[in-house]
Amino acid sequence: MSEATPFQRRVWDTTRQIPWGQTRSYWWVAVRAGDPYAARAVGGAMSANPFPLVVPCHRVLRQDGRLGGFGGGLPLKRRLLEIEGAWPPVAEREEDLVDSLMR
């Protein structure tokens, strides 16, 4: 993990805060990591995640609610989310994010 970029570290720290049984979008993680235009870079950080169960990248989905990528394969990502009761996901509302950022 010492070779991680500062952005990757912020992404992983943000992702670790996603509670069990909940999902967030790549965009949500990008905003919380300090760059709302970096949703694709969040995906890159997820693929470089050295600790997939400590940093639960399986909880990060595409903005449209689809699975997106996962190093262990999409069937495993879906299964992990099913175990947590987070699949199918509840739609994320942008207004909720804006409200939480304003607090």
- State pTM to two decimals: 0.83
Which residue is catalytic, options 57, 60, 81, 86? 57
Residue 61, strand partner residues: 25
pLDDT tens figures, 22-35: 999 999 999 999 99
Residue 60, strand partner residues: 24
Q: Would you call 57 a catalytic residue per the annotation? A: yes
Please report whether residue 1 resides in a domain: no
Residue 54 CA neighbour count, 13 Å, CB half: 7
Query: Percent of the chain beyond pLDDT 70?
Result: 84
Q: Where are the alpha helices (DSSP H) in the chain?
A: 6-16, 26-32, 39-47, 74-84, 94-102
pLDDT tens figures, 76-90: 999 999 999 999 876
pLDDT tens figures, 57-76: 999 999 999 999 999 999 99
Please report whether residue 67 resides in a domain: yes
| Number of independent structural domains in the chain | 1
Please report whether residue 14 resides in a domain: yes
Q: Indicate which CATH number applies to the domain containing 88.
A: 1.10.10.10
Domain limits for position 65:
6-102
Q: How far apart are CA 22 and CA 60, in angstroms?
A: 9
